[in-house]
Amino acid sequence: MGDDKLHFVLLPFMAQGHAIPMIDIAKLLASRSGTTVTLLLTPLNHIRVKPILSRSSQLGAHIHVEELHFPAEEAGLPAGCENVDALPSPSLISKFCFAANMLQSQVETLLKKMMFPKQSCCLVADMGFIFAAEVSQKLGIPRIFFNGMNCFASLCIHHILTCSNILDTVSGEFEYFDVPGMPHKISFTESQVKAGMATPGNKEWREAMEKLMGNESTAYGVIFNTFEDLEHVYIRHYENVRHRKIWSIGPLSMFDKELAHNNAIIRGQTSSVDATQCLKWLDSWELGTVIYACLGSWSNLTAAQMLELGLGLEASGRPFIWVVGLRNIEWKKSLQQLMERNGYEERVRSARRGLLIWGWAPQVQILSHQAVGGFLTHCGWNSSLEGVSAGIPMVTWPLFADQFYNEKFLVDILKIGVRVGVKRVMEFGKEEEIGVQVHGDEVRKAVEELMDGGGEEGEARRRRVRELAEKAKKAVEEGGSSQIKIENFIEDVRKFTAKKAYA
SS3 102: helix
CA 74, distance to chain mean position in Å, is 28
Hey, how many other C-beta atoms are within 10 angstroms of the C-beta on 132?
26
pLDDT score recorded for residue 209: 67
Which range (197-206, 340-349, 359-368) has the least confidence?
197-206
pLDDT tens for 292-317 read: 999 987 788 899 999 999 999 999 99
Residue 474 has pLDDT above 60, yes or no: yes
pLDDT at 19: 94
Q: Read off the pTM.
A: 0.92
Predicted pLDDT of residue 298? 78
Q: What is the pLDDT of residue 143?
A: 96
pLDDT score of 55 more than 50: yes
Cβ atoms of 386 and 367 within 8 Å: the answer is: yes
Q: How distant, in Å, are the alpha carbons of 61, 317, 458, 497 from that of 445?
A: 47, 11, 14, 56
Alpha-carbon span 290 to 71, nearest angstrom: 44
**pLDDT for residue 263:** 41
How far is 497 from 490, CA to CA, in rounded Å?
A: 11
Q: Is the pLDDT of residue 3 over 60?
A: no
pLDDT at residue 488 in the model: 96
Q: Helices 481-502 and 16-30, interaxial angle, to 10°?
A: 80
- Distance (Å, whole) CA 407 – CA 414: 10
Residue 262 predicted with pLDDT over 60: no
> pLDDT value at position 401?
86
The full set of domain ranges for the chain reads 275-473
Question: 117-121, 266-270, 322-326, 381-385: which has the minimum mean pLDDT?
Answer: 266-270
Q: At what angle do helices 381-390 and 16-30 cross, to 10 degrees?
A: 60
The pLDDT value recorded for residue 202 is: 56
Structure confidence at residue 211 (pLDDT): 74
* Confidence (pLDDT) at 86: 87
Alpha helix stretches (DSSP H) within 298-434: 303-315, 329-342, 344-351, 363-368, 381-390, 403-408, 431-434
Furthest-apart CA pair in the chain: how many Å? Answer: 72
What pLDDT, on a 0 to 100 scale, did the predictor assign at position 4? 64
Question: Other CB atoms closer than 10 Å to residue 461's CB: what's the count?
Answer: 22
- For the stretch 156-194, pLDDT in tens is 988 988 765 777 777 778 889 999 999 999 999 988 887
| pLDDT tier, 350 (very low <50, low <70, confident <90, very high otherwise) | confident
Q: Which CATH number fits domain 275-473: 3.40.50.620, 3.40.50.2000, 3.40.50.170, 3.30.365.10?
A: 3.40.50.2000
Higher pLDDT, 242 or 173: 242
The predicted pLDDT at position 497 comes to 85
Residue 122 has pLDDT above 50, yes or no: yes
Using the predicted structure, report yes or no on whether residue 40 has a pLDDT greater than 90. Answer: yes
Mean pLDDT of the chain: 89
Q: Give percent of the chain with pLDDT exceeding 90.
A: 67
- CB-CB neighbours of 264 under 10 Å: 9
Q: How many Cα atoms occupy the beta-carbon half-sphere of 133 within 13 Å?
A: 14
- Please write the tens of the pLDDT for every residue from 417-466: 999 999 988 887 788 888 899 999 999 999 999 998 668 888 999 999 99
Neighbouring C-alpha atoms within 13 Å toward the C-beta of 35:
26
pLDDT at 203: 63
Q: What CA–CA distance (Å, rounded) separates 237 from 385?
A: 20
Lowest mean pLDDT, pick from 104-108, 170-174, 234-238, 341-345: 170-174
Is the confidence at residue 76, as pLDDT, over 70?
yes
Q: What's the pLDDT score for residue 166?
A: 78
Highest mean pLDDT among 205-219, 228-242, 326-340: 228-242
pLDDT (0 to 100) of residue 77: 95
What sign does the dihedral 182-184-189-193 (CA atoms) show? negative
1 pLDDT band, cuts 50/70/90, is very low
